[in-house]
A and B are shown apart, each in its own frame.
Chain A
Amino acid sequence: MSENQNPNTSQDVTTSTETAGHPERFSDPGVPEHRARLTDTDPKANKRSERIIVLLFALSCLGAIASLVAYFTVRPDGTTDQTRLSTLLLGVTMAISLLGIGIAAIHWAKALMSDHEHVDERHDLKSSPEVREVAVKHLTDGVEDSGIGRRGVLKGAAVSALALFPLTFAVPLISSVGGDWNISKFRHTIWTSGKRLAYDPTGRPIKAADLTVGSVAHVIPEESEEYMASHEWITEKAKAVVLLVRLNPEDIRSDQSPEGETWSYDGIVAYSKICTHVGCPVALYEQQTHHLLCPCHQSTFDMADGAKVVFGPANRPLPQLPIAVDDEGYLVAQDDFAEPVGPSYWERLK
């Protein structure tokens, strides 16, 4: 864009030129002449429209009656088909009764009611100077009457009281609304040293020998049945779910084991199933590429390469669950995850 001061010097302007003797602008031709409708001029058409409207209202009545008939004849018997049939009949008859009224009313308005246009004047929205003057006077009189201008201490006291009273409401609310406010819970899951890995959702422990190369398992920690029927379990499960795959040991290029430790067992690797993006369960495993795809936002993790992100909006690899095998050949956790699972949050590394 040029720095030119004159705003009228660009290229794409189609301007008008004024010539003496002609007005600068066209004048308003006024509201177009009313055109009579067929129903205005032809009594037959008028009568026909009326009959159509009556018919539509009658149809609406029939729809309402049909709805009652449908209600009494189609009784739900617990099957999905019967529920669907009942829904269909009740809905269609309801629609007939409603649409009959709606179409009739609009046809009535369009065909039979007068279609002569009316003109109303608009008035300025702003109030007149006199009104404003009175309004301002009322306010200044009010301020004067209250004496708020002269009584500084009173003003301060009133403002303080008004500022403080919401605390009586807010403090109890805020103290309780977040439960115990203990956000360090984000750091831990119920995985502990020696806890067995179990199939989700059956809860059956997993033997390393049962897993063939290329197989994949959705994993939960082994817990008692009554714990698994509690709310606490759902919240803990939301952090603890793991996806386990058995790869050919040669295919594993890396995992997250630190120096001197082995977090995988004979090609079996276990990673948190909670996406490091916004926390969806990462559930789609592609055997050929060893890629794990999050169905929510398509973050893709390479299970053969430390669950590193290969595509999508996630930034961090899925945390690895260190696993081993116990005396009976069952897979167990060596420890909890080394870092918080799931999406990032402000204090994650603190």
Chain B
Amino acid sequence: MSTETASNTGAPTTPVGKAADYLDQRTSIGVAVKEFARKVFPDHWSFMLGEMALFSFVVLLLSGVFLTMFFDPSMALVEYHGAGPETMQGQLMSTAFASTLDLSFDVRGGLLMRQIHHWAALVFMASIVVHMMRVFFTGAFRKPREINWLVGTVLLILGLLAGFSGYSLPDDVLSGNGLRITDGVIKSIPVIGSYMSYMVFGGEFPGEHIIPRLFTIHILLVPALILALIGLHLFLMVLHKHTQYPGGGRTDKNVVGYPLFPVYVAKMGGNFFIVFGILALMGATMSINNVWNYGPYDPSPVGAGAQPDWYMLFLEGSLRLMPGAGTEWVIFGYTLSLNVLIPAVVIPGLLFTFLFAYPFIEAKVTGDKREHHVLDRPRNVPVRTGLGVAFLTAFIILALAGSNDLIATHFAMSLNQITWAFRILFFVGPVFAFWVTKRICLSLQRKDRELVLHGHETGRIVRFANGEYIEVHRPLDEQERWLRVNYDAHRPLEIEPATDARGVKRRGYKSDKRWQKLSRFFYEDRVEPVTPAELAAAHSHGEHDEIAPAAHTSEVTSGTDTVDRER
């Protein structure tokens, strides 16, 4: 039986066919090819943001392997005599710093790879953040993708960790001071802070263990976790099938797009080379982290106007904004440094809690248990969009506050006043941004309604025989209209009354009541989509009817019955 399957029916004759047959008999790869080769993916430019994150991670792995061949993560002190710049000769430095100089100046392409690696890290974090924004604002985190949102948020945190651990490896003054700040933050943690500082540094700061430890974290622990979670992220993406933007023929039951092979193989492959190419261009033309200008780590000097990489700026800004007066408490002789704890632990804790919890909170206040595969237009969920913009505003204000010294020197302003302005803005800015965004969303929805009801303005003015002027409106075609009417305007939750039919107090009523309050916050203000009845009503009586009801007869004869006439 086994002999005849291969020989009888359609035995492959071409080399490719033979190879495929060989492989299939051993792996049943035919099943996978059948399943995935023509799998349909929806198309939209914003779907490539996540790809960019993935591809810059691949570039990080490639350039990172190059760097590990020449980098020596040792804190042994050496007097430098090597290929590096004149100013570094004879200086006492760690081997890590010395090997960073050598791989930049002695290894051909070494500096290029270092710069590509650093830029790729910045682009990696940026594309993760922008990808998350796309997912958030379009509601792609809704059922069934909540778990994948959590995986993505963990990836964001791992990205921060990868960036931070890598940034510190060259053991230069700038990153050393960054480590020192980290040490100060760790020490502020109540009860275990001092011991955690010892755990991280293997003793007192800076000690002689931190660089090798960070190296292991940076090249083994964190990348392994990131790879595993990327695998899970993509597996879930394939399992769920990709979301799609709303449009004609696109429903929660189907997926409309182009086949994986050949269109997405070409597009994604092409995207990889473009991301890599642009990173190569950045590495070639924009120098970054010239550690020989800072010098090896020494606990005494510090550079003014020093900023961490952009994704850490929000933490830096948070530390800068917190007023110190009265925020260090002594309780039973123990010191609680709220001036460090709040900005460096509590604030980022709150920001990440928001990210982790949001999909579940929104599902709860929406009372929605359906699967969603068609994305929301951000305007159609005004409170979500507003909250997202408020979150970003807080993040950006903190990042700007992390650059308050540069703002002060570049614009010749008082540093203290800038800091005060940011302190106030941190609280006022997000609220204002929320309010403005929500209003803009509602206005856009009303504009959509108006467009659906009255059509596009054409600029054509028509005069009737009786002297009446009207402006001709062109109705939307059905695709345009479908895009604007195909959404759910959720209503606030309705809850069961406080007492049951026999007048007994219902358990859980108070909790229901609280959720209802939150639900009102989300959905009290809303704009509902136009219904066919409303459209028909708008067509049958234009507003000018009210001014001149007698003009009806002349309208019929005006010869413009193919267009909708309004105002």
Contact = CB atoms under 8 A, between A and B. Distances in A.
A82 B518 CA distance: 63
A7 B479 contact: no
Interface stretch (B9-17, B25-33, B100-108, B345-353): B100-108
B327 A315 contact: yes
Interface stretch (B150-158, B240-248, B466-474, B556-564): B240-248
Contact of B202 (A90, A177, A241): A177
B277 A95 contact: yes
Given A28-B482, A315-B327, A349-B330, A10 B283 contact: no
A238 B39 CA distance: 59
A185 B204 contact: yes
A231 B198 contact: no
A343 B334 contact: no
Given A28-B249, A299-B324, A177 B534 contact: no
Most chain B beta-carbon neighbours within 10 Å: one of A19, A21, A84, A346: A346
Given A95-B277, A181-B195, A238-B299, A315 B524 contact: no
Most chain B beta-carbon neighbours within 10 Å: one of A23, A97, A235: A235
Interface in A93-122: 94-99, 101-106, 108-110, 113-115, 117-122
A278 B115 contact: no
A12 to B, nearest CB: 4
A183 B75 CA distance: 22
B337 A315 contact: yes
Interface in A57-106: 71, 75-76, 78, 80, 83-84, 86-92, 94-99, 101-106
Nearest to A104: B270
A22 B274 CA distance: 51
Given A103-B274, A241-B299, A90 B284 contact: yes
A96 B533 CA distance: 58
Interface string B273-285: 1111110110111
Contacts of B479: 29, 32
B183 A83 contact: no
B85 interface: yes
A150 interface: no
A229 interface: yes
A281 B491 contact: no
Contacts, number: 403
Judged by DSSP, the binding face of A is loop
Given A183-B195, A295-B303, A29 B249 contact: yes
Interface stretch (B122-130, B258-266, B386-394): B258-266
Nearest to A177: B199
Contacts of A207: none
A99 B271 CA distance: 9
A347 interface: yes
B229 interface: no
Given A92-B284, A277-B339, A218 B524 contact: no
Most chain B beta-carbon neighbours within 10 Å: one of A8, A19, A109, A237: A109
Interface in A169-205: 174, 177-181, 183, 185-186, 200-201
Contacts of B248: 28-32
A227 interface: no
Interface in B485-544: 485-486, 491-494, 516-517, 519-521, 523-534, 536-537
Contacts of A295: 302-306, 405
Contacts of B199: 174, 177-178
A158 interface: no
A176 B246 CA distance: 57
Given A25-B485, A177-B199, A95 B280 contact: yes
The 9 closest A-B pairs by CB, nearest first: A91-B284, A278-B184, A102-B273, A105-B270, A31-B249, A179-B203, A98-B277, A7-B492, A99-B277
Given A109-B267, A178-B198, 8 more contacts: A1-B517, A29-B478, A99-B278, A178-B199, A277-B339, A280-B177, A280-B181, A296-B306
18 contacts: A7-B519, A13-B524, A13-B526, A18-B531, A19-B533, A78-B83, A80-B85, A91-B285, A95-B278, A117-B256, A117-B258, A119-B40, A122-B255, A125-B239, A177-B202, A186-B194, A235-B203, A278-B180
